[in-house]
Amino acid sequence: MERVLVFYKDYFFDKQTENVKKKIDWTLLLVKELPIIPDKFFKHIAGTEGLYEIRVKVGNNIYRIFSFFDKGNLVVIANGFQKKTQKTPLNEIERALRIKNEYEDENNEFKIHHNV
């Protein structure tokens, strides 16, 4: 089953250069189409509930884009950052978790008001 990818608001993508956008698009296509995605491109963030990072390398620059699943094969793309240290900064993970909660709250409100 092919995954469906959606951007939740504009936390990251539009601020990137065209070269970076092209590589992000290529990596997102892998996430969308491959039945099993190699850890090199997509990995669960240890110690979190349902938070994943999409890994993109452009030249010597490394980018991490946080995402999470909703309704099975729907991958929601949250925020991202350019990685400059070996370890993913805790504040970036916390920001991604806040965005995930915001998304879930909005969708729960919609379901309550529309009896979905």
The dihedral over CA atoms of 53, 56, 61, 67, expressed in degrees to the nearest 10, equals -30
Q: pLDDT over 90 for what percent of the chain? A: 72
User: What's residue 116's pLDDT?
Assistant: 42
> How does pLDDT run across 34-46, given as a tens digit for each residue?
999 999 999 999 9
Q: Is residue 75's pLDDT more than 80? A: yes
The CATH number covering residue 66 comes to 3.30.2310.20
Count of CA atoms in the C-beta half-sphere (13 A) of 57: 5
- Are residues 25 and 63 in contact, defined by beta-carbon separation less than 8 angstroms? no
Flag whether pLDDT at 64 surpasses 80: yes
- Whole-model pTM: value is 0.87
Q: What is the pLDDT of residues 49-63, one digit of tens each?
A: 999 999 999 999 999
Stated as kind and residue range, the H or E segment containing 6 is strand 4-7
Kindly report the three-state secondary structure assignment for every residue of 37-100.
Answer: CCCCCEEECCCCCCCEEEEEEECCEEEEEEEEEECCCEEEEEEEEEECCCCCCHHHHHHHHHHH
pLDDT value for 86: 84
Q: 6 is written with which tokens?
A: 């959606």
Q: What is the tally of structural domains in the chain? A: 1
Residue 69 lies in domain: 4-114
